[in-house]
Amino acid sequence: MTELHIGIAAIVCMLAGIYFGMHIGIALIATSFVSVWLIKSPEVAARFVAASANDAIRDYLFGVIPLFVLMGMLVSVSGVGRDTFDVFQWLMRRIRGGLGLATVAANAVFAAITGISIASASVFTKVAVPEMIRHGYTPRFSVGVVAGSSVLGMLIPPSLLMIIYGVLAEESIGRMFIAGIIPGALLALGFCVLIVGMAWLVPHKVGTPEALAGMGAGIEETPLTAAIKFVPILLLITLVLGGLYAGFFTPTEAGAVGAAGALVIALVRGRLTWRKLWQVLVETGFVSVSVLFLIIAAMLYSRMLALTGMPSAVTEGITHMGLGPWGFLFMYVLIVIALGCIIDSVSIMLIMLPIVLPIARAFGMDVVWFGVITVVAVEIGLLTPPFGVSVYTVKSALNDPRITVRDIFAGSFPFVLMMVVVLFILAAFPGLSTWLAYL
């Protein structure tokens, strides 16, 4: 077998392992180790694994992962999600579809201080879905709004997927964060347009006139109480993203400042007991270790592919096929969306990026723009059957036997279509992703 054949066999074996239930990190490490063993020797393979593990996460930059995860966990327990929804519900109480709009807006704000879609889906399922159903929204539409808008957490900074992409592409994480601001806002706007459109086209799904008329009656909110609830959130967003954008903080420092700010908010609100603090720290550890382990595995996998010559061979093959940059991008997005139906977002990026990034660079594509396209395409997989992590998170948090997984997938489908539209817009106008990043 040639080195290229070993590389192809490694990818096939790795995908087979994942399909039959092997953990993605173990599959990447095992196939990479065996491939290097076959190409070189067992001793070289052992040193290869050790060197990759050491090089992968020794930089202090990787402190950004546990710090932003900690910030997100603290924000979740402090009741910020509930307060954010209350504020936007009050602001949009006179608009038909206002509760849906409030859910999207609250999810966008929540995403700017957590970066984890699962957290958004869990929080707003409990907060927003009962309110929407109570005001005449159909259950399918209600859960669809929450599941659809929860994906904003993976695009609006700080985003865990942006961090992973920045590491794999060796691109500035701060720049990736900033690049996600306009696309994230565009996607949130697209969701709002979709909800307003559905309120006019299929009004029976988006609340009854009687419920809409009485919506403001149950909201005991004033400008002062709304400001008291929203100002701490706004200050935290300004502190983290403003500090990053102005260059006051590195991404790691921004994560530390954000975590400290979230801790202060949780303490001031009296929501953080010793028991909850311990749970937050343990969950932060679990998430951080999982992500860092995957990064180590991805680094080993990437180096193994480079050793086999796979990326250069694929680049040459794509070039000879005459697809061109747009044909390559179209095929790549289709493959990512298809993979999203069977495996999770992080796994898709770990498998695909070591292969496609050299091709994107060979075509002269901007790596930051390509990252935004990748994250949006990967996000679509959060809502597509049969995998759909956000859908299953909503189902788990809702715990209502009357609303099935099928209902949530069906309710999310219009949001999937809107994400596809936004993806085309971002592909056609790269400046939407790169303008702020290169200022």
pLDDT of residue 216 exceeding 60: no
Q: Which residue type does 143 have? A: V
> What is the reported pLDDT for 382?
76
Amino acid (one-letter) located at 23: H
Q: Tell whether the model's pLDDT for residue 135 goes beyond 80.
A: no
Q: Whole-angstrom Cα distance, residue 183 to residue 177?
A: 11
The H or E element containing residue 319 is helix 310-321
pLDDT at position 25: 80
pLDDT in tens, 317-334: 776 777 788 888 998 998
Cβ contacts of 433 within 8 Å, gap of 6 or more: 179, 182, 183, 366, 368, 369, 372, 373, 426
Using the predicted structure, report yes or no on whether residue 393 has a pLDDT greater than 80. Answer: no
| Alpha helices by DSSP H, 363-404 | 367-380, 389-398
Comparing CA positions, the residue from 383, 361, 402 lying closest to residue 117 is 383
Percentage, residues of the chain above pLDDT 70 = 92
Which one is predicted more confidently, 220 or 370?
370
- In angstroms, the CA 34 to CA 36 distance is 6
CA distance 139 to 389: 19
Question: Tokens at residue 279, please?
Answer: 């749970």
* The predicted structure's pLDDT at residue 207: 63
Q: What are phi and psi of 206, to 5 degrees?
A: -115, 55
Map tokens 């995860």 to a residue. 69
Query: What torsion, rounded to 10 degrees, do the Cα atoms 179, 181, 184, 189 define?
Result: -130
Instruction: Name 119's Cβ contacts closer than 8 Å, sequence gap at least 6.
Output: 72, 73, 76, 110, 153
- Report whether pLDDT(208) > 60: no
- Please work out, in degrees rounded to the nearest 5, the angle formed at the alpha carbon of residue 363 by the alpha carbons of 359 and 369: 85
User: What is residue 219's predicted lDDT score, i.e. its pLDDT?
Assistant: 55
363 Cβ neighbours under 8 A, 6+ residues apart: 324, 325, 328
User: What pLDDT, on a 0 to 100 scale, did the predictor assign at position 436?
Assistant: 86
Q: Is 206 helix (H, G, I), strand (E, B) or coil?
A: strand
Tokens read off for 2:
């040639």
Q: Calculate the alpha carbon distances from 345 to 19, 289, 349, 375 in Å.
A: 15, 17, 7, 9
Angle ∠(340,341,342) on CA atoms, nearest 5: 90
pLDDT digits (tens, 9 = 90+) for 236-286: 888 887 887 777 888 788 888 888 888 888 888 887 888 888 988 998 888
**Confidence at 212, pLDDT banded by 50, 70, 90:** low
Residue 422 pLDDT: 95
Radius of gyration of the chain (CA): 22
pLDDT at 145 over 60: yes
Q: Are 68 and 267 in contact (CB under 8 A)?
A: no
pLDDT tier at 417, thresholds 50, 70, 90: very high
Question: DSSP secondary structure string, 243-256?
Answer: HHHHTSS-HHHHHH
Q: How far is CA 96 from CA 104, 205, 294, 414, 424, in A?
A: 14, 11, 44, 18, 28
Q: Is the pLDDT of residue 214 over 70?
A: no
Cα–chain-centroid distance for residue 134? 29
The model's confidence at residue 209, banded by pLDDT at 50, 70 and 90, is low
Half-sphere exposure of 82 (CA within 13 A, CB side): 9
How far is 332 from 329, CA to CA, in rounded Å?
5
Residue range 121-134: mean pLDDT, rounded = 80
Average pLDDT, the chain: 82
